[in-house]
Amino acid sequence: MSNRFSLEGKTVVLTGAGGFFGRYFTKAFLDEGAKVILIDISMEGMESFLKEYGNRYQLFFVDLYDRKEAQECYDQIIFANKVNVLVNNAFDFGKKTGFNTQDGKLGNATYEQLLASFESGAYWAIQATQTVGFAMKKHGSGSIINISSMYAISVPPPNLYEGTDRFNPPGYSMAKAGLLQFTKYAASFLSPEVRVNAISPGAIPNLEKKAHNSISENDPVLQKLSKKILLQRMGHPRDLTGGLIYLASDASSYVTGQNIVIDGGFTIT
């Protein structure tokens, strides 16, 4: 029987490839047989695990805020490759978008923070779609997967961050909700050749390593969040890879304009 989930012979472009999810996504795509083109501003320590996969990967170090640099990267990629899958996964979780800072809160959030949230949470996906998505349409097939968030559908309760330095700003929900609507818009205009779908992950904390988004298992934010999760545990990036491979592969050949929510039931209560 043929494996409809196989990505053998397919080329995947993945943004935010050096991040927490990006590393698991890269590995999942490589394990399914794909060639992966990785884009990120930083991909520290990735070469060691990528070495196992021979020459089935290529790295592009790009600051996606630099629209010219990003455009040159996408143009170079589509010139040299027939891309089958595009995953828009990068997001800037820094102070620029108002994360984990008092001045990111609703009463204080600046125009610049909201604009950066839009750029990072929606425009980066739009720019990649305009280039790579249209190249796929020209080639006659392709799948685009936009990584949105549970906070595109629900919102953080105000007491979640009380007594901590953490904060999830209004621009994040705004941009990720916009990304879901853009997913449907692009699905309409790129059809029938290209399918465009989204994944909305739930609470998937980085408990692994000292990174900008690392958090301790005992952090009060996680304790409060976990009470709302029907499956009674935090998510892991591996919880997303089944949906990711499904949307990337021929197994989802009749699915477009959809959003798969992978959140342990967080958003239905």
Ligand X SMILES: NC(=O)c1ccc[n+]([C@@H]2O[C@H](COP(=O)([O-])OP(=O)(O)OC[C@H]3O[C@@H](n4cnc5c(N)ncnc54)[C@H](O)[C@@H]3O)[C@@H](O)[C@H]2O)c1
> Which residues bind to ligand X, rule: CB under 6 A?
16, 18-22, 40-42, 62-65, 89-93, 147, 149-150, 201, 203-204, 213
Which H helix or E strand runs over 47?
Answer: helix 46-50
Shorter beta-carbon distance to ligand X: residue 6 or 127: 127
Shorter beta-carbon distance to ligand X: residue 65 or 134: 65
Q: State whether residue 28 is helix, strand or coil.
A: helix
* Residue 7 beta carbon to ligand X: minimum distance, rounded to whole angstroms: 20
Contacts 24+ apart (CB under 8 A), 103-109: 104/167, 104/169, 105/167, 105/169, 106/169, 106/170, 109/169, 109/170, 109/171
Shorter beta-carbon distance to ligand X: residue 7 or 70: 70
* Residue 4 beta carbon to ligand X: minimum distance, rounded to whole angstroms: 26
Q: Specify the residue for token string 């027939």.
A: 82
C-alpha span between 123 and 230 (Å, rounded): 33
C-alpha span between 223 and 164 (Å, rounded): 12
Q: Specify the residue for token string 């750029």.
A: 119
Q: State whether residue 259 is helix, strand or coil.
A: strand
Shorter beta-carbon distance to ligand X: residue 141 or 206: 206
* Residue 91 beta carbon to ligand X: minimum distance, rounded to whole angstroms: 4
Shorter beta-carbon distance to ligand X: residue 201 or 243: 201
Q: Which residue is nearest to ligand X (CB)?
A: 19
* Residue 211 beta carbon to ligand X: minimum distance, rounded to whole angstroms: 6
Tell me the residue type at 75.
Answer: D
Contact 169, 100 (CB under 8 A): no
Shorter beta-carbon distance to ligand X: residue 83 or 225: 225
**How many residues belong to the chain?**
269
Report how far apart, in Å, the C-alpha atoms of 256 and of each of 98, 190, 250, 251, 268 are: 32, 10, 12, 12, 22
Shorter beta-carbon distance to ligand X: residue 93 or 141: 93
* Residue 5 beta carbon to ligand X: minimum distance, rounded to whole angstroms: 22
* Residue 53 beta carbon to ligand X: minimum distance, rounded to whole angstroms: 19
* Residue 239 beta carbon to ligand X: minimum distance, rounded to whole angstroms: 11
